[in-house]
Amino acid sequence: MVKKSIQDKMNEQIMHEIFSGYLYLSMAAYLHGKGFDGMGHWMRIQAVEEQMHTMKFFDHLLERGGSVKLAAIKKPQMTWKSPLDAFRAALKHEQFITGKINELMTLSMKEKDYASRTMLQYFIDEQVEEEDTAEKNVRMLEMAGDSGQGLLMIDRDLAGRVSPITLPAPSNG
């Protein structure tokens, strides 16, 4: 049975992961609204991935006889100064999430919760990838600057991101 200290922290993490998806959905809406459909598509998939992260914590708690307690989700920011501003905010958010995962790992070590440590190792590795990808996106956008052609190329590039699940086709309306 999972200890209450771990359960509470994992429930908090469920809230952070759901909020991450909410934030990326908000960024997707902003980017689509500005005509950057490839970047919007990339953020949509990022939101789906956050849902998958959420479910890993959800299932881990249930498998170990814990209780899932869903917390309130705050309203995400809805607009940014530019695509670069949005992607910088995404990077900053991933750095925040890495800190939260590290806190969870530290707690699981203190509590000698070996099952949690194994499960959290997935997220330690995942966050390295998440930050790396977010940094690359920021660097590409910094290089493009105000160049319309550069932004178009990045938009086309990010349109190629493959979703782990089948997403409904975006409406053109």
Select the residue interacting with ligand FEO from 9, 41, 53, 60 (CB under 6 A). 53
Nearer to ligand FEO, 46 or 151 (CB): 46
Count of CA atoms in the C-beta half-sphere (13 A) of 69: 10
Residue 26 sits in the site that holds ligand FEO (CB under 6 A): no
Cα separation, 2 vs 77, whole angstroms: 34
Dihedral of CA atoms 21, 26, 28, 34 in degrees, nearest 10, equals -170
Residue 108 sits in the site that holds ligand FEO (CB under 6 A): no
* Burial track 89-113 (b if 16+ CB lie within 10 A, e otherwise): bbbebbeebbebbeebbebbeebeb
Select the residue interacting with ligand FEO from 58, 61, 94, 104 (CB under 6 A). 94
Select the residue interacting with ligand FEO from 7, 20, 108, 137 (CB under 6 A). 20
Q: What is the DSSP string of 129-151?
A: HHHHHHHHHHHHHHHHTT-HHHH
Shortest distance, position 72 Cβ to ligand FEO, whole Å:
19
Select the residue interacting with ligand FEO from 50, 66, 104, 120 (CB under 6 A). 50
Residue 17 sits in the site that holds ligand FEO (CB under 6 A): yes
**Interface with ligand FEO (CB under 6 A):** 17, 20, 50, 53, 94, 97, 130
